[in-house]
Amino acid sequence: MRTALKVGIGIVVLVIIILASLYSMYISGYNGVQAKDESVKKRAADVDTQLQRRYDLIPNLVSSVKGYMQFERQTLEDITELRSQWMKTPDTAQRVNLSNQLEATLSKIIATYEAYPELKSDSTVTRLMDELAGTENRISVSRTAYNDGVRDYNLHIRTFPNNVFNDNGFLGAKAWGYKQYPQYEATLLARTVVPQVNLTLTG
């Protein structure tokens, strides 16, 4: 009788220990995801501050180059629309995706600037391109920090215990409302604008 009682008590104690461990694991995982999510949002805000400087140049840049780019009217319309969408959306993932699209579109203007001497001889366009190039280093540093944070966060929510039963929504990052963030891409603009934009006025 005493043996059975001891066994029963032992089982109860073991169950309590297991439940306490699972609860501790759950709380630790939840707090960890929250902390990493906030870190990503902070880094995203830092990137947005730098991108805002770049995108503030777009209206004047489009206005200045449209006379030279009649054949690229759709490009100019696209970049204006993407900028408008980027400024309106508060969602981090959408802003990253829109920024990636914006860079791909901006790269077409950069390529046109490099190809046409008439643009390089326009002092207004050259000044704007100078300002655009001047933002790229700060943007690159901020985006690298953001991408590092995203890789850490995305790995965290995909690994145990934060991915436990995610597909069924019982526990883990998905059940808590967290999902993976996209990364900023190294587009043509990011790779070429700083080293290749010629800022010297030519006649």
* Mean pLDDT along residues 116-127: 80
* Mean pLDDT along residues 181-189: 71
* Gap between the Cα atoms of 170 and 75, Å rounded: 46
- pLDDT: is 97 or 193 the higher one? 97
* Gap between the Cα atoms of 68 and 114, Å rounded: 12
Cα 79 to Cα 12, 105, 106, 114, 159, distances in angstroms: 65, 6, 7, 18, 38
CA within 13 Å, CB half, 133? 18
CA within 13 Å, CB half, 22? 9
In a domain, 71, yes or no: yes
In a domain, 128, yes or no: yes
pLDDT given for residue 32 in this prediction: 79
* Mean pLDDT along residues 113-132: 81
- Domain containing 88 equals 51-147+188-196
* Gap between the Cα atoms of 128 and 106, Å rounded: 13
In a domain, 78, yes or no: yes
Question: How many domains does the structure of the chain reveal?
Answer: 1
pLDDT given for residue 145 in this prediction: 93
* Mean pLDDT along residues 131-139: 82
CB distance 58 to 178 below 8 Å: no
* Gap between the Cα atoms of 143 and 193, Å rounded: 16
pLDDT given for residue 70 in this prediction: 67
In a domain, 104, yes or no: yes
* Gap between the Cα atoms of 120 and 202, Å rounded: 6
* Mean pLDDT along residues 62-90: 83
